[in-house]
């Protein structure tokens, strides 16, 4: 699969953009684990052109994480164009436009998935952004606003006509938020349309290597994107890549997985500071699927969510690793 001249290989698996998750450290780890391309946290066009420091920091990308996309969102064409030009100067491989974020504070202001209620404006913004920059522009969106407006098959063709180089579709409407099961049927229908010439990337509920393979086999997509399943589990890219390439998976040991989580802690602290770094990373750890099989883990999870120092969080991780190893020994 190619996005213009960027070759992502056969059946690429990408890290989805996630606010407060896909910082530079996490992106790099996921690239090392096999993600074909990674996306930044989404960037507000309005905040970017106002030079808000917390927003401009999101534009920092490292050579080791390439190919990398910076994603922007907004509701006014002029602001989106100006933001796109600023992003281009930051040097990403791809500029992605977010027309899919469902959260109220974004969508109800007309940005993100809110654009799905004003398709002419959505298309106008897309066309103007494409013309404003020389790097490839892509779009990430949803099936539609609600069950009565699942318009993605028509919208995909319209976005292609605007000049985008790839389209990612999350298999839910905005009204669904993240509830229920993602519906890939329309994603497959759009991909099968002979008029659709650009890559179609599917997103939604890819949590296992088998689900990843089935998405390619059953719906014919060019690529897939993994979001929430990578939360606290960056090794999923290694497992999916193995399965797609060989049909088998040799999973990491508990120790190897725990070391990846500890690395996230260390690098979060190095990137910010101890207190804020811990605040940022602790909910990632507490949500890790690695801990789901531990009996009566609720109390430890709460302690992780309340930890405020490196020593405190490290002690909890050490104790949790011992429990996992003991459990593995009992199971064996």
Q: Is the pLDDT of residue 144 over 90?
A: yes
Looking up tokens 């020994």 gives 329
Residue 330: its pLDDT value, please? 54
- Percentage of residues in the chain having pLDDT higher than 70: 99
205 vs 332 pLDDT, higher one:
205
pLDDT tens sequence across 261-271: 999 999 999 98
Least confident segment among 193-197, 224-228, 323-327: 323-327
Q: Which of the following is catalytic: 30, 101, 153, 162?
A: 101
> What's the pLDDT at 283?
83
- Given a cut of 50, is residue 137 above it in pLDDT? yes
Question: Mean pLDDT, to the nearest integer, of 280-299?
Answer: 89
Which has the closest alpha carbon to 201: 117, 269, 138, 257?
138
Question: How far apart, in whole angstroms, are the C-alpha atoms of residue 305 and residue 258?
Answer: 17
For 49, the 3-state DSSP assignment is: helix
CATH architecture classification, 2-246: Alpha-Beta Barrel (3.20)
What are the tens digits of pLDDT across the range 177-204? 999 899 999 999 999 999 999 999 999 9
**Tokens describing residue 111:** 């940005």
**82-100 pLDDT, tens digit each:** 999 999 999 999 999 999 9
Task: Say whether pLDDT at 328 is over 90.
Answer: no
pLDDT of residue 332: 41
Q: What is the average per-residue pLDDT within 297-303?
A: 93
Q: What are the sequence ranges of the domains in the chain?
A: 2-246, 254-327
- Per-residue pLDDT tens over the stretch 25-50: 899 999 999 999 999 999 999 999 99
For the CA atoms of 153, 156, 160, 165, the dihedral, rounded to the nearest 10 degrees, stands at -130
pLDDT at 116: 96
Q: Return d(Cα 293, Cα 272) in angstroms, integer.
A: 32
Measure the CA–CA gap between 143 and 259, rounded to whole angstroms.
Answer: 38
User: Does 162 qualify as catalytic in the annotation?
Assistant: no
What is the reported pLDDT for 247?
96
> What pLDDT is stored for residue 157 in this prediction?
98
| Mean pLDDT (the chain, rounded) | 94
Report pLDDT for 288. Answer: 92
Is the pLDDT at 287 greater than 90, yes or no? no
What's the angle, vertex CA 93, arms to CA 215 and CA 63, rounded to 5?
A: 105
pLDDT tier at 327, thresholds 50, 70, 90: confident
Contact between 50 and 30 (Cβ < 8 Å): no
Residue 52 to residue 239: CA distance in whole angstroms: 38
pLDDT of 331 > 90? The answer is: no
């Amino acid at each position: 699969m190619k996005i213009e001249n960027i070759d992502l290989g056969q059946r690429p698996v990408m890290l989805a953009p996630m606010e407060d998750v896909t910082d530079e450290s996490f992106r790099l780890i996921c690239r090392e684990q096999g993600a074909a391309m990674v996306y930044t946290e989404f960037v507000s066009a309005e905040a970017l052109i106002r030079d808000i420091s917390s927003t401009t920091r999101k534009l920092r990308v490292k050579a080791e994480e390439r190919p990398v996309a910076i994603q922007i969102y907004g509701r006014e064409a002029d602001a989106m164009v100006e933001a796109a030009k600023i992003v281009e100067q930051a040097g990403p491989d791809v500029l992605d436009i977010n027309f899919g974020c469902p959260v109220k504070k974004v969508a109800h202001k007309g940005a993100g998935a809110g654009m799905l209620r004003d398709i002419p404006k959505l298309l106008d913004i897309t066309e103007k952004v494409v013309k404003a920059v020389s790097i490839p522009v892509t779009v990430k969106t949803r099936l539609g606003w609600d069950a009565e407006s699942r318009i993605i098959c028509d919208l995909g063709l319209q976005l292609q006509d605007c000049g985008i180089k790839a389209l990612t579709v999350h298999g839910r409407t905005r009204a669904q938020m993240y509830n229920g099961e993602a519906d890939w049927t329309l994603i497959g229908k759009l991909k099968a349309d002979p008029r659709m010439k650009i890559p179609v990337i599917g997103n939604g509920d890819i949590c296992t290597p088998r689900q990843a393979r089935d998405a390619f086999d059953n719906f014919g997509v060019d690529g897939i994107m993994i979001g929430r399943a990578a939360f606290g589990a960056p090794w999923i890219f290694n497992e999916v890549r193995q399965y797609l390439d060989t049909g088998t998976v040799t999973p990491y040991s508990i120790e190897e997985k725990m070391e990846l989580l500890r690395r996230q802690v260390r690098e979060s602290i190095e990137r910010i500071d101890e207190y804020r770094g811990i605040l940022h990373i602790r909910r990632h750890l507490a949500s890790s699927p690695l801990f789901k099989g531990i009996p009566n883990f609720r109390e430890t999870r709460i302690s992780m969510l309340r930890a405020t120092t490196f020593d405190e969080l490290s002690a909890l991780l050490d104790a949790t690793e011992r429990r996992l190893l003991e459990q593995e020994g009992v199971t064996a």
